[in-house]
């Protein structure tokens, strides 16, 4: 089928509370994917770290296989094919050798094929005011390129979690034609309460694009706390669907890609980028 920007579709976010057990997480996500498909979703997205949330690097890497031996791939491929849906697995931990993993998104087509992969570009290396410290780069190898996936439903720009704080990534995807920006995440509770909604709405508004943001939520087996509050936002910044909690579940909204072009026509900023120099005045 050919991409038709005038044709709408139904999208769903799967909200999870992944633990350490990859098999259990896969089973939990498949049940929610099935629920979303039964509700009429044609595009379904799961959160970052769908297959495991584990802050202990040694434990995470113990027994974690490379992509070609990752059982989750087969399970999600079969789910996409069985339900006849486009399925974005927000990310999986994948062993890439040398003691490192990739934080990798996978897009499955309705026939079960993996049509795109995206490795998270920006590593979450921060020290927060409440004493939380995260050094994602100790475990994960960052990606090196952005990814746009053209389907018959829409043109999807891929990103993961901390990427949302880097507007140039989304601007580049929008300028390449993305009318839907995907931001699967495992936002910390502290940063989520402060910034989650405002960042997502900003990315939608400044790019005239839908934002689909499935999230991890709650207190996880490894002790971390994530914010939940999965969201689907339209190109004018309106929140179309919101999980107003951190519990596992789904949210659903109708996506009309033509609204992206309409928003961009009203505020034509994508084509008005200018290079400039900063004049520093010292007193």
The residues annotated with a catalytic role in the active site are: 48, 120, 161
By the 10 Å C-beta count (0-12 exposed, 13-18 middle, 19+ buried), 268 is classed as: exposed
Backbone phi, then psi, for 197, in 5-degree steps? -65, -45
- Please compute, for residue 67, the number of CA atoms within 13 A of its CA located in the half-sphere on the CB side: 13
Query: Any residues with CB less than 8 A from the CB of 168 and at least 6 apart, and which?
Result: none
Query: Any residues with CB less than 8 A from the CB of 189 and at least 6 apart, and which?
Result: 225, 226, 227, 246
Q: How far apart are CA 143 and CA 223, in angstroms?
A: 27
């Amino acid at each position: 089928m050919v991409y038709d920007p005038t044709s709408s579709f139904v999208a769903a976010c799967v909200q999870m509370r992944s633990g350490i057990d990859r098999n259990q997480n896969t089973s939990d996500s498949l049940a929610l994917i099935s629920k979303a498909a039964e509700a009429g979703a044609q595009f379904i997205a799961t959160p970052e770290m769908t297959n495991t949330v584990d802050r202990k690097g040694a434990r995470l890497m113990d027994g974690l296989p490379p992509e070609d031996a990752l059982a989750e791939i087969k399970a999600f491929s079969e789910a996409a094919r069985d339900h006849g849906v486009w399925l974005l697995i927000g990310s999986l931990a994948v062993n890439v050798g040398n003691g490192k993993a990739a934080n990798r998104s996978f897009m499955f087509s309705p026939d079960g094929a993996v049509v795109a992969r995206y490795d998270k570009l920006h590593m979450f290396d921060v020290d927060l005011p409440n004493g939380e410290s995260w050094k994602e780069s100790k475990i994960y190898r960052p990606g090196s390129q952005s990814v746009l996936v053209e389907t018959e439903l829409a043109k999807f720009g891929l990103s993961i979690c901390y990427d949302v704080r880097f507007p140039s990534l989304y601007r580049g995807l929008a300028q390449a034609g993305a009318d839907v920006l995907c931001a699967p995440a495992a936002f910390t509770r502290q940063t989520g309460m402060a910034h989650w909604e405002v960042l997502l709405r900003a990315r939608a508004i400044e790019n005239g694009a839908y934002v689909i943001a499935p999230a991890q939520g709650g207190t996880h087996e490894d002790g971390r706390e994530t914010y939940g509050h999965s969201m689907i936002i339209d190109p004018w910044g309106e929140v179309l669907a919101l999980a107003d909690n951190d519990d596992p579940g789904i949210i659903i909204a109708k996506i009309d890609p033509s609204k992206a072009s309409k928003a961009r026509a009203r505020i034509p900023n994508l084509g008005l980028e200018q290079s400039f120099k900063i004049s520093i005045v010292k007193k």
